[in-house]
Amino acid sequence: MNAVAEMPSILVFTDNAANKVKELIEEEGNPSLKLRVFVTGGGCSGFQYGFTFDEEVSEDDTTMEKNGVMLLIDPMSYQYLVGAEIDYSEGLEGSQFVIRNPNAASTCGCGSSFSA
């Protein structure tokens, strides 16, 4: 039996984000990489988002797969990300992963920090 929890569809991992992650994984040449999204204390609004590649899936991680890419979220971060959309955007201000989070009571100007 697999103890890894499956992520409900109430978290959106867009095609743009999944395709960009897939491209980055291919550049690294390591198909074992997965995208870990997390929330930590800090930033000007109290919490901030983080992204990293990880080869390991923890027993209590929530997972989501899209376009051949696996997304990982630890239980503490998951409670802040329920209902959020993880996207990738390219524009005049540059390219970046973006989290649109309806749980955020407020966000800072840079968009990477929020309060709950």
Domains contained in the chain, CATH given: 5-115 (2.60.300.12)
Alpha helices in the chain (DSSP H): 15-28, 75-81
| Helix (H/G/I), strand (E/B), else coil: 5 | strand
pLDDT at 41: 84
Query: What parts of the chain have a pLDDT lower than 70?
Result: 1-9, 43-45, 105-116
- What is the per-residue burial (b if ≥16 Cβ within 10 Å, else e) of 66-78? beebbbbbeeebb
Q: What is the DSSP letter of 43?
A: S
pLDDT at 112: 52
